Structure 1
């Protein structure tokens, strides 16, 4: 709705909270990458990837960094998506079918050259530059001018028959008319947000031959003169890590696979979890059950949606929980997803099972499993570490009240079979998808969770509060919980030891 859209925009415009100097660490990281590319032989192209799960602040980080580095920001979000940030107007030119490889590479080089020219002509600060080409109103005129410039540049680049000729011609377009006063190697950052459309074969099969568009944009980056000070960053909410930074033997470029070229490691340490929490404040039980409090835990998305600004009403907490439920199952509407379970006899698969149970069960997904990057890409699981060879991805699902509540509601929905979830979890253990060294602990956790859920249901029936859908965000007595957990004959043995209050 328009109201939700306004809330999301306001939430995105909130001041970037950076208690751990994340922006500075990211800038140092890309500066080192470009410095190594310029001085050390063996690196393939001047780019890297920004990898992390949804809601952790990747796009917000780029916007904040753009205040310190001259940045061209382009959101390549799917044309059918209603997400935020909005798809950039120029995306239709960059994500489309090309006649051949030469046209694709020439288009991406023309884009970089045309934007470079615009940057040289701009005489205000970096923040105003960023607003000029990302603002929903002003960007149309900006990108139309870029597109017009691209046409002329592209026609000249198409005449080049050798890579060396192309690079020499590009140099003529990258004439620096103004001095960028920053000490780092990166003078100009080209950011491609929601970049999964460059590798996706689902959006109209946007590719040239057997290669994805990402292959050709990398080829364009290679042809840039090293002294240009240009670096590219690719980021996305729903892309698989290996698509952007693959292991060498899976890389689509023969030059990388056969000649031993090095790709820069991804940047993934987005330590934004719990960044909005005031740990010094002592809370009462009543205060801790207030959405204003527990929505601050976890990734910053939840708190931003609840309180986008001091003068704007945020989303209702119930709406945010529903959004979290949709995100846990891969971005589908939960209402549609569960209807499919009922109508088409569809089975819950292992990926969905791990996503649903993850926020409550503390599941350890095997780093070598192919499910690990998929859970980061589509199901809110966080990336903790990526080994240098990129074969192993360590993931985690931190304690997040919002996701735990979303998980609990899915698990207790009448259309979702807990037995089926447990069977799929068992199958994941057999296949080595889930670390099998702590089966006893998993069983204990399932029993405790089931006891809690049953306790909440009984409490609702007793209090006749059937409209209260919260499962996690409620209090129960130890007595009621133990009564739900233990068999009657066992509970009777300890009942007298419980202190009545």
Structure 2
């Protein structure tokens, strides 16, 4: 990613460009909705409310502990059908159930010239019009993305474009919005009953008929209502009358078709050959009697496009993994039932959820069942969609200055990332409540943080999510934890492979989520969140869940930096000075180091003290903008978002800050971090020189004092680094380093050529001139760094660079917390780690070149 791109994303056929935005502003209809829901709640009987309460308790137990016996035991306590599976990712709050509803009911605004609603319509319509010609199984689209990105809100907005959105939610939490549909119980229990009523073919055929009855009944009621598309959706979402009529029609149709079961099932049970289409004759008989094209003609045409009716199944994960072991999975027959729709693009079914239930659209298995048209006969399925509908970005993300009070304003930081956060802030008005909700959603459920404090336990994937969104962990696209992280812990889907076996994911630039993670990491009684999460991270590294650890220990360095920030005991969104960061890292400040190394008399009057520079660093993120292309505006945007930049090319990490009380281009400074993991430190002056904007070729050359921070994470407790010199902390200025390098013989040909051109009379050039002809190897060396060294040596009188070197793991205050992490992340050889990183980079570039729509860079 580049600087905070609040509208960037990709899905097959649906491209969302930088700057995609939407605003959610509460409207008066939210009040009417809230009043209607209150009246409905008041009409519930005490027995019904008690039953719901017991169900929620049982669901909570299953969600947290997942033993099969708990569900079996709990079902004996309840009467009636089996409850719906718990929606693990619902937008919910305990103190104010209406907050999400008010946010959802707000006005949908499209800004930035990008119409997300129309892009979604085009994607859906393309599937509906081409499924026959492209030999796809059915006009079905699956939309997969983590919670809060605006899936439901954008889908519902299609009603304003004249599309009749038949929105059925299977969420079970009572505070969810959109609320669980009134027909959800009937649909789910019917599915379980029919899918366990006989052999696979018999069960699937009966459920297919039920789905066809559902589709036809919904269209019938929509025609009978004679409402506009928006009014139709409003009645469907807020009332029970529509679903009551639909259920009655379904039950009536089922009774009529029950007498046809034997004849239809006889067609299926005739042993088909492997090459035949087992559903062909069955579908011919059924479709002739169920075609509803005449009914569709009675619905008004949309102002644009062909799509008239969109059947939406939200929180549809249970279709791919039914909890009842007696029933077959529901997704394949439900998808097959959609073949009833005409091939004109007028009707499409859309299944959406936060997890990867789209994996039901898997590649053909080795031994497909004869009923599986996709596996046995090569029919294709539509690729899952995954997209971002971005929030309105803060107005100050450009080059404008920002006072300290605004920099530390949590309400400003809430505006980054998924639209859920800003919508909640507009509806509630208190950023602290949004932060509380972010904590619950990141950890996987309400009150998760208090449970960790009291019980010392989190959900399995929660520690990876907490560290991942701050440290920037790349999750293996094949790891089984990806599904849980997307479903319950805010990890976002970026791409899905054609065979559905790889799900590429990423952590968004979301300061409020990073602040929530910081709260979790600092919490705890017997042991802190940091201790708990680092243990789980080590376990994840051993299992291969986390990739791109960095071959020099870059992951360890990011952990050490955030440990130092959190040790300051400030709110995560408060700025810290470099002196404070140094104390957190190694127990001493840069001001003290300068006095010890250079003496007070050497400090120039009027020069800004880098120890007083202020920084905001909530999380680290990688950028797809090369270091040499990062502009000052880019750096300013990252700094305002509280994002530390992960990069390469002489500098591994950049943390952007400012001097004084205003964050602007003129006051901007930075910490340039160079990570090493070496037992022999060698000539440190070379490392200091390379950790500079000039050598790295940064476009944004700093005009105020800045810091080069050398971090050596090698463990010096058991090897030759164990002497006090090599595990100490030292300070130098860039001016002294340049002077020292010019007096020594150049370390390589590139440096020698650069010095010869920039300072031909220096001592180093004279020494190099005597020696260079004696070595034939020097003639074969690369001169690719000549320009870099020339840039570095040109401003010889420049004294902006201030260098702090932490020369071994033993010099860090948090060494005990990361020692095992160092051993695990760096257990292979540097060459192997470099090879792993190189392979990952090549694969990532091949994958995301299509996303960015630009040519691949040759970095091999």
Give the TM-score of the pair, scaled to structure 2.
0.51
Q: Comparing both structures, which one devotes a greater share of its residues to strand?
A: 2
Residue 215 (structure 1) aligned to one of 309, 329, 332: 332
Alignment of 1:153-164 (within 5 A): 153-160=253-260, 161=264, 162-164=282-284
Match of 1:432 in 2: 544
The answer on whether the counterparts of 1:76 and 1:197 sit within 8 Å (CA) in structure 2 is no
Match of 1:447 in 2: 560
**Counterpart-to-counterpart distance in 2, 1:368 and 1:500:** 44
Partner-residue secondary structure (3-state), 2:574: coil
In the alignment, structure 2 segments of 5+ residues that lack a partner are 1-92, 198-202, 265-281, 604-608, 613-860
State whether structure 2 residue 133 is matched by structure 1 residue 12: no
Shift of 1:171: 0.9
Match of 1:265 in 2: 383
Match of 1:91 in 2: 184
Match of 1:233 in 2: 350
- 1:45-64 C-alpha deviation (Å, 9 max, x unpaired): 11011111111111101111
**Counterpart-to-counterpart distance in 1, 2:450 and 2:497:** 37
Match of 1:249 in 2: 365
Alignment of 1:335-414 (within 5 A): 335=449, 337-338=451-452, 341-342=455-456, 346=457, 349=460, 351-414=461-524
State whether structure 2 residue 288 is matched by structure 1 residue 195: no
- 1:414-467 C-alpha deviation (Å, 9 max, x unpaired): 244523422322232232211145151110100000110112x2xx6xxxxxxx
Alignment of 1:456-495 (within 5 A): 457=569, 470=571, 472-488=572-588, 492-494=592-594
> How large is the Cα RMSD of the aligned pairs?
2.7
Shift of 1:290: 2.2
Shift of 1:107: 2.0
Moved over 6 A (4+): 250-253
**Counterpart-to-counterpart distance in 1, 2:106 and 2:180:** 20
Residue 323 (structure 1) aligned to one of 434, 437, 452: 437
User: Residues 51, 178 of structure 1: CA spacing in aligned structure 2 closer, same or farther, 3 A cutoff?
Assistant: closer
**Counterpart-to-counterpart distance in 2, 1:172 and 1:6:** 39
Match of 1:107 in 2: 210
State whether structure 2 residue 421 is matched by structure 1 residue 302: yes
- Largest Rg, 1 or 2: 2
Match of 1:465 in 2: none
Q: Which moved more, 1:186-195 or 1:480-489?
A: 480-489
Q: Which has the higher contact order (CA 8 A, sep 6+)?
A: 1
- 1:463-493 C-alpha deviation (Å, 9 max, x unpaired): xxxxxxx2x1112222122222124498743
- 1:241-287 C-alpha deviation (Å, 9 max, x unpaired): 44443333399862222222211011112141x53422356432202
User: Residues 51, 256 of structure 1: CA spacing in aligned structure 2 closer, same or farther, 3 A cutoff?
Assistant: same
Partner-residue secondary structure (3-state), 2:494: strand
Partner-residue secondary structure (3-state), 1:33: helix
**Counterpart-to-counterpart distance in 1, 2:550 and 2:444:** 27
**Counterpart-to-counterpart distance in 2, 1:355 and 1:339:** 17
**Counterpart-to-counterpart distance in 1, 2:493 and 2:517:** 19
The answer on whether the counterparts of 2:166 and 2:309 sit within 8 Å (CA) in structure 1 is no
**Counterpart-to-counterpart distance in 2, 1:120 and 1:59:** 24
Partner-residue secondary structure (3-state), 1:16: strand
In the alignment, structure 1 segments of 5+ residues that lack a partner are 309-313, 461-469
Shift of 1:123: 3.3
User: Residues 418, 3 of structure 1: CA spacing in aligned structure 2 closer, same or farther, 3 A cutoff?
Assistant: closer
Give the TM-score of the pair, scaled to structure 1.
0.85
Residue 408 (structure 2) aligned to one of 284, 289, 297: 289
State whether structure 2 residue 158 is matched by structure 1 residue 37: no
Shift of 1:69: 4.2
**Counterpart-to-counterpart distance in 1, 2:150 and 2:458:** 33
